Amino acid sequence: MGKLTDETLMAFVDGELDAAEQERVRQALAEDGQAVERLAIFEATGKNLALLYDRPMREAVPSHLIELVKGVPPTIEPAFAKREGRRWLSWKKDRGVSWGFGTFAWGLAAAGAGAILLGVLAYDPIWTTKQNAPDDQTAEATVRDDVQLAGDWLRKVLDTAPSGKAALAAASTEANNVLPVLTFKARDGRFCRQYEFDGTQGRVLGLACRQTNGDWQVLKQFGVAAKGAGAEGYSTASGSDRTAIDDVVDNLIEGDVLGSDDEADLIESDWR
């Protein structure tokens, strides 16, 4: 065996070599005093360092971290889910009745003591354009005479931006950092996209499906957290927020979420 490299000696100390390699190193070490000295460096700075930092392994995880991961306090979460559910149902029932997509903003005071619910905020201004669906007899059954359609900036992002990449840092006065999250084909044949953006009152989650005329019908959209509530200014979505979108996706989706190649093809072909 040739000269023992530092990497080999280190891997030997760290138990990263297989038995045959270990044996070769042992034999080489027997004849190489200089390598033994180098070996000592890696022994002194090896996994024994873990002992110095083992305090987190011996003590309980601070409750504020656990609460943070668990999300919004359970006494409050159902109220949100219920309210969201009602609104969603009433929209489906009361078609033709005009109402704006309410934005529920959850404030998570992440500083220090953990997640504290600040409260429920008021309705956002309508940021979607509201208009009647075209008078088109061939339109799919799900098109209603009163639907929420994506406004220009959102339509542009949904039409052109790949999932997972923030687009249009300042999409409009009402939205920043728009992020298409995923794309899928719905059972009714439409392509739908989940998205997020920073609205005026915090992060907003949404889901829209593309209609045959090129409009994006917004099926669901709501705010999840007060802007700047997070320790570094990013906002926090509770479990029920994600679940609310996931449930809609699950109900609509046919097959799997599209891969990035398929999605790129769709964008390229203008969603046809």
Partner 1 sequence: MDDEIRECMISFLPRLRRFAYALTGDADAGDDLVQDTCVRALTRLDQWQAGTSLESWMFRIAQNLWRDALRSRRATLMEAPGDDAHELAGADGRIVVDTRSRLRAVSEGLAELPSEQSMVVALVCIDGRSYKEAADILEVPVGTVMSRLARARRALHVLVGDEASGHSPKREEMPNGQAN
Q: Which is nearer to partner 1, 128 or 194 (CB)?
A: 194
Q: Which is nearer to partner 1, 62 or 100 (CB)?
A: 62
Least distance CB 9 / partner 1 (angstroms)? 8
33/45 Cα distance (integer angstroms):
19
Q: What are phi and psi of 205, to 5 degrees?
A: -105, 145
Site string for partner 1, 210-249 (x = CB under 8 A): --------------------xxx-xxxx-x--xx--x---
Q: Which is nearer to partner 1, 95 or 242 (CB)?
A: 242
115/269 Cα distance (integer angstroms):
45
Give the dihedral of Cα atoms 247, 186, 194, 242; nearest 10 deg: 10
* Residue of 240, 201, 229, 206 whose CA lies nearest to 121: 201
**Touching partner 1, residues 26-65 (CB under 8 A):** 37-38, 40-57, 61-62, 64-65
Least distance CB 51 / partner 1 (angstroms)? 8
110 belongs to the binding site for partner 1 (CB under 8 A): yes
Q: Which is nearer to partner 1, 31 or 37 (CB)?
A: 37
Least distance CB 211 / partner 1 (angstroms)? 24
* Sign, CA torsion 213/215/216/217: negative
Q: Is 150 left (phi over 0), alpha (psi -120 to 50) or beta?
A: beta
**Touching partner 1, residues 113-152 (CB under 8 A):** none
Identify the three-state secondary structure at position 179: strand
78 Cβ contact list (under 8 Å, min separation 6): 240
Residue ranges in contact with partner 1 by CB under 8 A: 3, 5-7, 10-11, 14, 16, 37-38, 40-57, 61-62, 64-66, 68-71, 110, 164, 181-182, 194, 203, 230-232, 234-237, 239, 242-243, 246
